[in-house]
Structure formats: structure tokens, C-alpha cells
Amino acid sequence: MRDHDLELIAALAEGRLEDESEAHALIASSEEAKAEFEAQKLALSALSGASPVTMTENERSALHRDLWTELRGPAAGSVSSRTNPWYYRWMPVAAVMFVLFGLVAVLNQSGGDGMEAAQDQTAGLSASDTTSAMAEEFAGDDADADETRGETGAIAPTSTMAAADSGDGSTAEPPSSAATAFYSAEADEIRSGEEPVYRSLGDFSTTEVEECLQQAGFDDYEVREVNATPDQNIENGEEVPEEAVPYVAATPFGDALDSAAVVFVALETCEVIHVDQ
């Protein structure tokens, strides 16, 4: 049925047509149109019985009390301190431990004369330098994966390609395990659904979303989910990792959804942030 016909039938069911003759003619001419009209009428009639709802005074008091308790609490006004998972607090400690273990390993390997040289080298290497070097190494691996895709036309067979090269050669940060888990869970949810989910387009238009996907090299992919406000998920109490950015998720056209690869592309940079196989 054409959109115009459906709209006409719905308008008739809603009783907002001044001239109903065209709609009645349509219904009289087609069984499908008649069934559609009856369905629209049935649904509208069922929903019209909905009575308005308001909070009871107890519920209202509880809402205000709990809200102000939350807002005046120690985390008031500080989104990150309230919403970050507990293990985020230990990440700096883990980073320092990592550097120390690395230092010990280097010293053990070097031994004798080499030890002094190793000490000189490591003394000048801060924790952030170390993690940057790791990030570069990681991004390098993914650049290789991206090249593989370019040659074969297929996605590199990795489930954690979270730092692929964008077209201009810039790279995203390496993924945390929390980010990988988050995107994998999103991918599973997409695979279990049937309809595309435009959760929130935010300031992005549908055209921008599709262009971004093309820019990332996924022309033959179908948009499955757009989430321009993952930070709201944090606000809403979900354990969304801090590095979650507005993204579009897509699957290859024609692939069975329940087993399709799901690519996640950042909407702001059009970089691939994750591929879930």
C-alpha cells in the first residue's frame, strides 16, 4: 500500500478528514485498505480509553526527596565520579605497576654492562610515553588489518579492531576491555533485532551518518543503530566506558543479521572504532 493511501486511511480513522469521499472510495475498492482501516480504528479505540496518570503525593514526595539527596550527595555535579565503573579508580595504579614490571623485565634481560644503559633509557621514559608507544604499536597492528581489508574487500578477522586508520591516516586510541565489551554487547543486541534503531541523531543528520559510513569505507553497509548520545547512557547509570563516542553501527547489506559483522564508526571523526565479528 502506498504511503499516501495509508495516510488517508489513518486520517479517516482519526476522524480528521473534512472530505471523506476519497478515503471511503479507497476502502470500498480494496480488501487490504479495508483491513488497514479496521486495524487503525481498533487500535485508536483501544488507546482512547487511556486515562491520564499523575503521581500520587507519596510518589511526588519520594521523587523530590530522592532527587535532592542525589544532587546534594558527594557526587553532585560530578558526572564522572558517579558514573565511572569502580575499576577506573585503579587504572593509574595499574599503569604505574605496568611500568615498574616492564622496568624489572628490561633490567633482568640486560644484566651486566647493559643494565646501566637500560637504566638510562627507562629513566627518561615516563608512564605516558610508555602508553603512547603502546598505542602506536597497537594502531600499527590495526593499520595492517585495514590494509588487509583494502586488498581483499573483507574485514580483517579480528573482533577488537578498535583503532583502525581513518582515511587521513589519523588513529583512534586503543580500546579498553570495557569499550570492547560495550561494543560487543551493542553488536549482540543489534544482531537480535529486526528494525534499525535510530536511538538519537543528536546534531547529526541522516545524510551525515550515511556519508560518515561511506567515508570509513563501508558503502555497502546498512545502518543498524545510531547513538549520538552515549554519554546519556552514562548518566542513566549504564556502565558505558568513558571513551564511548557518538557512533553509527552498520552491517553488510544482504548478510543474515544474526551472524553479520557489525562495524562501529565514530560520527565525529568517521573513524572505525570497533568491528564485531
Q: CA–CA separation, 277 vs 274, rounded Å? A: 10
Q: Site for another protein (CB under 8 A): which residue of 22, 61, 64, 167?
A: 64
The 3-state DSSP composition of the chain as helix, strand, coil percent (nearest 5) reads 55, 10, 30
Segment interacting with another protein, rule: CB under 8 A, options 24-32, 58-66, 93-101, 114-122: 58-66
Closest CA to 246 of 232, 257, 261, 260: 232
Segment interacting with another protein, rule: CB under 8 A, options 23-31, 49-57, 161-169, 267-275: 49-57
How would you classify the pairing of strands 221-227 and 197-200?
A: parallel
Assess 197 for contact with another protein (CB under 8 A): yes
Site residues (CB under 8 A) for another protein, limited to 219-238: 228-229, 232-233, 235-238
Q: Site for another protein (CB under 8 A): which residue of 6, 94, 104, 181?
A: 6
| Residue 8: exposure state from Cβ atoms within 10 A (0-12, 13-18, ≥19) | buried
* Least distance in angstroms from the C-beta of 237 to another protein: 7
Total number of residues that touch another protein (CB under 8 A)? 50
| Residue 100: exposure state from Cβ atoms within 10 A (0-12, 13-18, ≥19) | exposed
Assess 10 for contact with another protein (CB under 8 A): yes
Q: Site for another protein (CB under 8 A): which residue of 25, 62, 104, 133?
A: 62
For 102-130, give the secondary structure using H, E and C: HHHHHHHHHCHHHHHHHHHHHHCCCHHHH
Segment interacting with another protein, rule: CB under 8 A, options 32-40, 98-106, 140-148, 159-167: 32-40
Q: Kindly report the backbone phi and psi dihedral angles of residue 237, in degrees, each rounded to the nearest multiple of 5, phi listed first.
A: 95, 0
Q: Site for another protein (CB under 8 A): which residue of 15, 16, 18, 49?
A: 49
Give the x-and-dash track for 203-222 against another protein (CB under 8 A): ---x----------------
Segment interacting with another protein, rule: CB under 8 A, options 46-54, 127-135, 172-180, 263-271: 46-54
Q: CA–CA separation, 214 vs 249, rounded Å? A: 12
| Residue 257: exposure state from Cβ atoms within 10 A (0-12, 13-18, ≥19) | middle
Assess 276 for contact with another protein (CB under 8 A): no
Based on its alpha-carbon atoms, the radius of gyration of the chain, rounded to whole angstroms, reads: 27
* Least distance in angstroms from the C-beta of 50 to another protein: 5
Interacting residues toward another protein by CB under 8 A: 3, 6-7, 10, 36, 38-40, 42-44, 46-47, 49-55, 59-60, 62-64, 66-67, 70-71, 77, 79, 185, 189, 194-195, 197-202, 206, 228-229, 232-233, 235-238
